[in-house]
Structure 1
């Protein structure tokens, strides 16, 4: 579908979102195996750093991808007359570049700091789950506070504003745009449910080492919320692709076109009779007719930690 879809500005963002989500999902098996082994990491310090850096970097990169997709749809729906200028391929490339800058910036501190620590009393090697108090307060608290503000709170406010404005515009013709309204609401609700709890719990975990709350009390709820934030990346494709009737119709048309093309190649009669016809290309449009919002496409994500 990527190679058969016209690379409109919105599709560039959505393809980038898919790539970011896939990179995040690639490291999930390592985290799952780690927790099933009783939080015992057996793959070494370098791989632990890579897994955690990719996990958090792509999780927050996914959040910014969603914010840029929301911003793109806001311009298309609320300001259609300015969309031709603002929604350019160059602008989408700038947004894509910013996403990867965010990812690399989020990954760097985790790649440069020690992530594995042995707990002798439990005879396990933890990976980013048990940190010395001084390092937690002086290094990871500023790091995750910055991530929370710049890579969750800011894009969340952008999404909230853009989706609210889009919904206000679409509600004027709610019957005509009922599907677009449902998808917009679904994107916003899934984002809040999957990502808000883990980010709040993450910040609470690091915020004050003097809290009269045992780390064990926060660890289990945080791990559950972190799993839900990772699940956000799994359901992105269903939200942005498969809930769209137009997309399903185009997929079926593309598959039928491929079948017809194979039949024409295998049949000499079809080859001779179709030699004078122009080839037909099925394009999966990511935008609807003028004044109609683009068909939806899309995350991620979140964090960790067990106070030793």
Structure 2
């Protein structure tokens, strides 16, 4: 009797666990729901989520500590306001720059690069309304999976395409200033067109993986669909890790080194020439400053995200990264003013275009347009 009394709580506990297990199995079978979650592994940028398949619909489950970030004031108010400002300033400025360069400027090598830069910035700005609506709706994507993939690919593709074109402009300036006689034979508009074509193809290839992977997922328990901001921990996490690392290296770090070398060489050559180039030196310094100020924070945060185990698991850098990513789009607004509107020659062409009926002859000024 004494032994039976000691074992009785264990027997009750056993049958209690068995009953709960049977009730769980019956509940799952009756509702025809099958829930599977993946193993926790390092995840790409933004917030990591666990995949859950319920009634043949794949949902994402996120840590409750990070769920509040999706509805924070920074996410649903500040970020879309920043994108709205970029859209309102970048659309007319880049459209006007592209129009004037295409219709009034002499077709030189630098003109081709500047036209493509304005086109890349304009395409980036045209994608922003989708992201603006997405964040204002509380991180809810109503446009479907296909448009989510295209928007994500166009956003990153045109952003890094602008960086590559800025690199080409810096190399073109380096060759024109430091090696003018050596580069005269191949610095032609036709060569610039071929180079820009290669850059557009490179940008398309770099962003192609984003169009091949699912980017939008409904969030479990909340009636919203996320687009790229929350990505699942699954068997392709290593794929995303190497993809973003390659993207940052090829489309930002290497171009940044090339631009620093090119512009430092140009500055040194101009300094050796005397004070009459002081305006060009200030403009060159301004170009470097805008590039570093706008693009470096988001790329650095992305690298820090990969090196931090806690950020990989819970997405602690989500808000910081998304704000810095929105700030990086301001470079699309700065490009027209830095490369075009600081030039009196460009402003004169705009005045002639709008306020005179007869076209004025093209001046020597695409180099003037770029460097004043």
Q: TM-score w.r.t. structure 2 length? A: 0.68
Indicate how the Cα distance of structure 1 residues 215 and 163 shifts in structure 2: closer, same or farther if over 3 A, else same: farther
Mapped partners of 1:135, 1:245: distance in 2 = 56
**1:51-98 Cα shifts (integer Å, max 9, x gaps):** 001001111111100000000000011111223113122321221012
Mapped partners of 1:204, 1:21: distance in 2 = 27
Mapped partners of 1:135, 1:200: distance in 2 = 26
Hey, what does 2:199 align to over in structure 1?
Answer: 99
* 1:11 partnered with 2:86: no
Hey, what does 2:3 align to over in structure 1?
Answer: none
* 1:238 partnered with 2:337: yes
**1:156-180 Cα shifts (integer Å, max 9, x gaps):** 1110100100111111245201211
Q: Is the 8 A contact 1:163 1:184 kept in 2?
A: yes
The two structures, once aligned, show a CA RMSD in angstroms of 2.1
Hey, what does 2:30 align to over in structure 1?
Answer: none
Aligned positions of 1:103-182 closer than 5 A: 103-134=203-234, 137-182=237-282
Post-superposition offset of 1:3 = 1.4
Across the two proteins, how many residue pairs are aligned to each other?
Answer: 272
Structure number with bigger Rg? 2
Post-superposition offset of 1:253 = 4.9
Q: TM-score w.r.t. structure 1 length? A: 0.82
* 1:295 partnered with 2:370: yes
Mapped partners of 1:252, 1:79: distance in 2 = 35
**1:189-211 Cα shifts (integer Å, max 9, x gaps):** 00001001111112333x25733
Post-superposition offset of 1:121 = 3.3
Mapped partners of 2:317, 2:162: distance in 1 = 25
Hey, what does 1:68 align to over in structure 2?
Answer: 168
Hey, what does 1:210 align to over in structure 2?
Answer: 309
